[in-house]
Chains A and B, each alone.
Chain A
Amino acid sequence: MQQFKTLKDLPEQDYFTGGSSACAGCGPSMGLKLALKVLGPETIIVNASGCMTLLPLYPNTPLKASWIHNAIENASSTAAGARHGLDMLGNKDMNVVVYAGDGATYDIGLASLSAVAAKNERIIYICYNNQSFGNTGFQWSTATPYGSETKTTPRGKNNPTGTTAVNKDMVKIMGAHRVYAATASLAYPVDFLNKLSRAKERDGFSYIELLGACTAGWNYDPRLTIRISKLAVRCGMWPMYEIENGILTLNKDFSELKPIDEFLKLQGRYRALPQDGVDRLQVLINEHWAELKEYNGQRYV
């Protein structure tokens, strides 16, 4: 298994080259660029409709690997078909990797993802979570955190909170499928690539959820993508952990979380969240963090 210790170990070769149509500072694009360093050119990226669907635009593509875009809700099933097609034709050594947003993962594609994970198909599923339906202009998904404003959960006289639902605990749900499930952050690329490297060697399904900071939707300065990705981890909004065979391992432990306000204040989507909303979000984060600390090293699901 390929192991990386520092940033200097990252492969120089790039399979995501120039000509991408993504925003400056786009987190999900950075994630795919990093992932392809480990996955290499004999990889089929199965994409669910979303921002990343616009990376290739006929007749151009910034990618030096294969790509299938089917629709939004069926990337997992498409990947399963590609996996078995390759296996039956004697191409077992090619990688099949889903790269799908949170709307396509948590919401419309959940049934197909769950079935393919339950069957433990040899697929790596990377969910780039920008906490919204991003490509349509930032609408609510079940990955949107409490208190975030979106275009379909706008703040108003009758609802100062914006998003009142609490986001789904997707990593736990995937962990309960008895597959490898992990979170990752662009602020910790070595950790992300090691997790991918591990997933690549597994004879079964792996789920990696990468926080895909979204400069347009979250409404922040594109220079801040990595800082925000780091603050998300330090503030407990995006804890770094993995679940394998139901056992939880916390990858980044802190004696104390930074207050969530440090993460919120850099982003327009939280700008007008009233203090009681911030307090409530802090409680939710503390509860989740305490749960992870309690089960660290033990059976979690």
Chain B
Amino acid sequence: MKQTLVTGNEAAAWGARLVRPNYIPTFPITPQTECIETLARWSADGELPGTYFDRMESEHSVMSAAVGAAAVGARVFTASSSQGLLLMHEVLYIAAGMRLPIVMATISRGLSAPVTLWSDHNDFLDQRDSGWLMFHAENNQEVLDMMLQAYRIAEDPRVLLPAMVNMDGYVLSFTDEPITIPSPEMVEEFLPEYNPDHTIAKGRPVTVGPPVLDEYTIFRAQNHVAARNALEVMEEVMDDFDRIFDRRYHLVDEFMLDDAELVLVTQGSMSTTAKAAIMEMREEEGIKVGLLRLRVIRPWPAKAIAEALKGAKAVAVIDRNLAPGRGGIMFPEIVETLYHLDRRPLVSSFVVGLGGNPQTEHKVKEITRKLIDDLETGRPRVEWNDL
């Protein structure tokens, strides 16, 4: 175990190194490139024994090669971002349908056009119906920890689905944060060798990816069941993670919710800023505000979310993404999740931080004050906070 300063990209690379993958296919894209460059350097220096580091000609080929390797039973890691993630989109569904537990770090960046290098979550959330397990980290320690957990959850025989671990571009990918890097022995105890029995092996011919007729629905239903199973597996895995590494995670991250009347629902790195603003508002203004951070996006932990929000009077869903013609992507998901509560809170929608537009404490306080107004008028709002 060692304490060190690393960027989010390096934290993902450390995660990959510690899980001992057999194969890492790669393609560069800002802001992800540093992650694969780190792995390339380690590979060249002989620090990744048992791993073949590969370079493809496109992200589509990266995910295709990942599928090929996983189909013969290899443990696979890769990373991507933005346009690259969209180029992979077709093969993401295929990887999930084939039940191949590939793990990918995704580094969120807004989508073209116009071009931006900065972060928002449209690239990541565009994959939300692909069948992948989807995790979103708040800081660099969580990036590494989620990587380890993602492999354990993805490879569980009750799940067998691919998983992506998301971090915000620049804010995490290029920012040094102090993290604890666990020892290889601890990771080996947590994550054993991957020995699948459904993949191609010598003496075991398998047909992967054939056409089906009426059975299509059965296979899709199995994907759904596996993804739902993952929720239970996640709780077991997080307990075990706590036992070995002494860091506690839950399906959702609850911050100062015990007596909170107002709750901000966030995703990713802006949660840290929001938490600081919440502490100030509580201390200086006595506002009973708390935060719920979504860290598992798929499968959707509906029960945990409803439980965490059932005491709130008003909720602000802060979306760093946009579905044009619809609004924030997570807003309707939260509303649907709360619909069956006996006493439903007021739910307002705020679209913020597109293309890296900075999310300051000031903006978080502004949203909180608007939420107080909404509670007085009794009418929720749908608003862009940055315009």
Contact = CB atoms under 8 A, between A and B. Distances in A.
B68 A115 contact: no
B61 A88 contact: no
Contacts of B52: 84, 87-88
> Interface residue tally of chain A, by bracket?
35 or more
Interface in B105-159: none
A41 B205 contact: yes
A89 B72 contact: yes
B155 to A, nearest CB: 15
Nearest to A57: B211
B60 A70 contact: no
Contacts of B67: 68, 70, 78, 81
Given A66-B205, A112-B57, A78 B68 contact: yes
A227 B90 CA distance: 41
B60 A112 contact: yes
A70 B94 contact: yes
A84 B25 CA distance: 10
A46 B91 CA distance: 15
A139 B279 CA distance: 65
Contacts of A120: none
B68 A67 contact: no
Contacts, number: 151
Interface in B43-83: 50-52, 54-58, 60-62, 64-74, 76
B207 A84 contact: no
Given A64-B205, A66-B206, A85 B90 contact: no
A65 B56 CA distance: 27
Contact of B50 (A58, A70, A88): A88
A250 B57 CA distance: 33
Among B64, B69, B76, B213, the one with the most A-chain Cβ atoms within 10 Å of its Cβ is B64
A18 to B, nearest CB: 16
A115 B65 CA distance: 12
Nearest to A96: B68
Interface residues of B, number: 43
Interface in B192-240: 200-203, 205-213, 215
A88 B215 CA distance: 34
Contacts of A119: 55
A85 B73 contact: yes
B208 A69 contact: yes
A115 B72 contact: no
A81 B208 CA distance: 14
A205 to B, nearest CB: 14
A77 B65 contact: yes
B64 A78 contact: yes
Interface in A62-83: 63-71, 73-74, 76-83
A56 interface: yes
Given A41-B205, A88-B22, A80 B68 contact: yes
Given A89-B22, A112-B58, A84 B209 contact: no
A80 B68 CA distance: 7
A19 B56 CA distance: 37
Contact of A67 (B51, B72, B91, B210): B210
8 contacts: A61-B210, A69-B209, A70-B67, A78-B68, A81-B70, A81-B74, A82-B68, A88-B22
Interface of B: 22-23, 25, 50-52, 54-58, 60-62, 64-74, 76, 90-91, 94, 200-203, 205-213, 215
